[in-house]
Structure 1
Amino acid sequence: MTEETKTNRPDAARNEQASENSAETLASALEGSQATDAAEAPVAEPDPTEALKAENAELRDRFLRMAAEMENLRRRTERDVKDAKSYSVAGFARDMLAVSDNLRRALDAVPADVRDNADQTLTTLLEGVQMTERSMLSALERHGVKKIEAEGEKFDPNFHQAMFEIPNADVPNNTVLQVVQAGFTIGERVLRPAMVGVSKGGPKAEAQHGTVEASEKAQS
């Protein structure tokens, strides 16, 4: 190996080390420049218009919910007031119906032939009892108490109470043929169901209706 070769090897090593140091220095400088640029870049601020829109939508939703709650409260209050007016006299009306029933029993206790041949005193008495009964029922009706018209109607357990059955093949089954005690409603509620006698042995209205439908379908 010549002296020239020995002399050039350290120089090459020094040159290579210098190149590596320069590359590291350049990389550090670039990183520092990027970090500075990132730090100096302006931060995007939120759009105040979008924030106002979101706040407005939230307030509108709260207002609609509050308005709906107030409307429901108003309706409940009106219904409670209406029910209080309609049903506050229910107990009193039921007691008055008992008095009316006694007046009717007193009238029915007088036979027809006795009534036809009654003297002036008895006739006046009977007329007074009838007028009292009518006046009482009229007063109750002014307060929402109405009589249930049951005779001739189809039996409805919501309004009628069956006391006995009457064999009758000429009318549909479960038809009210006799009213033992009149029923009354107050508002939309039943104050007292009508006590009735219903028919038995007649045709069923549902069966007749089904037969008609079946016949119509067969013809079509």
Structure 2
Amino acid sequence: MAAGGSLRSLISPLLQRLRCDRSSLFAFSTAAQQRSTGDDCGPEDPHDEPRHLLDENTAEHKNIKLKEQVRDLTERYQRALTDSENVRRRTQKFVEDAKLFGIQSFCRDLVEVADILEKTTGSAVEGEHSDPASALKKIHEGLSLVESKLQSIFTKHGLQKMNPVGGKYDPYDHEIVCHVPAEGMKPGTVALVTLDGYKLHGRTIRHAHVGVAVESQE
């Protein structure tokens, strides 16, 4: 019995120490597990803060760049609108001036005709009492010069007098005022002109009044 008691007294401290070691091992294992799973359930890792700050700075930088681009596009759009409005105003002014002064060159040429008429009239008045024949001759020469000058001006500005005699009647250019016997002319052709017709750059602006040849009825 004494031997058994001694053995029990030796084993009992060992068992107690083993229990303590097992408890320490379990506690160490639990702490390690908590450290290994701390990323999922523990507080945020302080080492992640610089990365978050970097993301925020990048987003703010992009936002600033976008605002600058929007401001630049807005300014360019406003300048384009201003330029477009200036072009529109200049074009409108040009059109208005063209309407107002479009016949300026034509009028300037007509002034020369007015000068010729004035000189012709003055010469006729001066020679009316002294030499009527000479005055009449001057009037004739002056009027001939006026007609020639006018036709030259008309041609210069694209205005041409029609010469339809001997040509075929055209309802787009001619207006029949009478019929004449076709003596040596083909029926349906223009035999005479009672009022000259004119074309401006190929477009008829006044029909020629004509007499058309027809077969004579015996």
Give TM-score scaled by structure 1 length: 0.39
Higher relative contact order (CA 8 A, sep 6+): 1
Give TM-score scaled by structure 2 length: 0.39
